Amino acid sequence: MRIIAGKHRGRNINVPEGKSVRPTTDRMRERVFSMLQHHRYPALLGARVADLYAGTGALGLEALSRGAGHATFVEKTQSTFSCLKKNVAALKEEDNTSLMKISARALSFANEPYDIIFMDPPYHKNMVEPTLYCLLERDWLAEDGLVIAELAVDDELTLPDALKIVDDRKQGQQRILFMMRS
C-alpha cells in the first residue's frame, strides 16, 4: 500500500500481518479523493478529518498528504493501533494527528467537529449505523460536514433521520456512501 498523491505521494504504508485488517484499496482511495474535489463537499485543504476504524490509517494519511489540517485516527485493536502509530511516525505527521485507542461506537464528545469523517468498519458486522448515531449524538460532524463510509455491497443500512445519502458508488464488493446532514 502507498500514498497516492500529495506531499507523501509514493510513500509506503505498513499493513499488519494477518486478516484482521482490510485496507481500502489504492483504487478506491483514488476514487474517493477524486469525488471529494466536487464543490458540494467540504474542502480538503485545511480540513479536520477523522478516520474511524482506521486500520493502517490510509484514508486519514492520504487526506493529510493532500492538505488536510488535522486527522484524528480511531482504532481499538492493539496490534493494528501499533502499526497505525508507526505509519504516522514514518510520515512525520505526529504534530497533525491525534490517535485514540477506542471503539468508534464509544466516542466521547468532540472538542471540535470534523469536516470529513471516514469510516471503514469490518464488513457484515452492522457497525455503520450505530457509529453514525454516535457521531451525531457526540457532535463529531460539522454542520456542513461529510461522512464517507465503506461497506460491503450487500450490507444493510438504515440511516439516522439527520443524514442523507448524497452519493452511492459500488466497485466490486465495495460500496462507498457519501452522507451529509438532511
What CATH number does the domain containing 79 carry?
3.40.50.150
Residue whose cell numbers read 464509544: 106
Measure CA 149 to chain center.
7
Residue 107 CB contacts under 8 Å (≥ 6 apart), including other chains: 74, 100, 134, 135, 138, 140
Given this model, what pLDDT does residue 137 score?
97
Q: Counting beta carbons within 10 angstroms of the beta carbon of residue 64, is it exposed (0 to 12), middle (13 to 18) or buried (19 or more)?
A: buried
Q: How confident is the model at residue 104 (pLDDT cuts 50, 70, 90)?
A: very high
Given this model, what pLDDT does residue 90 score?
97
Q: How confident is the model at residue 21 (pLDDT cuts 50, 70, 90)?
A: low
Given this model, what pLDDT does residue 34 score?
94
Q: Is residue 120 part of a domain?
A: yes
Q: How confident is the model at residue 20 (pLDDT cuts 50, 70, 90)?
A: low
- Total domains, the chain: 1
Q: Is residue 49 part of a domain?
A: yes
> For 30-79, what is each residue's pLDDT tens digit?
989 999 999 899 999 999 999 999 999 999 999 999 999 999 999 999 99
Q: Is residue 16 part of a domain?
A: no
Identify the weakest region by mean pLDDT among 21-35, 149-163, 167-181. Answer: 21-35
Q: Is residue 10 part of a domain?
A: no
Q: Is residue 5 part of a domain?
A: no
- Rounded distance, CA 182 to CA 180, Å? 6
Is pLDDT at 127 greater than 80 in this prediction? yes
Q: Is residue 13 part of a domain?
A: no
Is pLDDT at 19 greater than 70 in this prediction? no
Structural domain harbouring 48: 26-181
Q: Is residue 162 part of a domain?
A: yes
Model confidence, pTM: 0.95
- Report the first-to-last Cα separation within the chain, whole angstroms: 35
Name the region of 92 (left: φ>0; alpha: ψ -120 to 50; beta: rest): left
Q: Is residue 18 part of a domain?
A: no
